[in-house]
Amino acid sequence: MSIFGSIMGKIFGHKADAPAPSPAPAEAEAAPAAAPAPTADATPVDVGAVLSEMASMKGGGGNYQTSIVDLLKLLDLDSSLDARKQLADELDVHAGEPGTAEQNIALHQAVMAKLAENGGVVPDSLRGG
């Protein structure tokens, strides 16, 4: 699965109101590891609320509102330079050198924009800019 797909899966798959039912063992083996795709009748996911809830459950979440590294850590995803390089390639982000503040800021903004394109409700406070 792509890194962005993992990000979407963690955020869009997170249910604030109730835990998701566990699939039966046969379903778990047969189910592909794809990020859930919003449908036309699906309720939009409030990305800000989901991340805020996740951060409160983890004691704050660092500076996930602007830091791609802290966002990835909050989601329990790889935040290494190699992972961020792969994410930059996936999202076609070529601002600054890999690992620089310029690229990390651009990556965070690109992730938030892409979440919004895929049905997420992203508050201005997470969009940067």
Q: What is the pLDDT of residues 46-101, one digit of tens each?
A: 999 999 999 999 888 889 999 999 999 999 999 999 999 999 999 999 998 988 99
In this prediction, residue 106 has a pLDDT band, given cuts at 50, 70 and 90, of very high
In angstroms, the CA 97 to CA 55 distance is 29
Structural domain boundaries in the chain: 3-123
Computed over every residue of the chain, the mean pLDDT equals 81
pLDDT computed for residue 43 by the predictor? 80
- The residue type found at 62 is G
pLDDT computed for residue 42 by the predictor? 66
In this prediction, residue 13 has a pLDDT band, given cuts at 50, 70 and 90, of confident
Whether residue 20 has pLDDT greater than 50: no
In this prediction, residue 25 has a pLDDT band, given cuts at 50, 70 and 90, of very low
pLDDT computed for residue 129 by the predictor? 56
Alpha-carbon separation of residue 26 from 13, 19, 30, 37, 127 (angstroms): 20, 20, 6, 22, 40
pTM, to two decimals = 0.76
Of the given ranges (15-24, 45-54, 118-127), which has the lowest mean pLDDT?
15-24
Paired tokens of 119? 């049905």
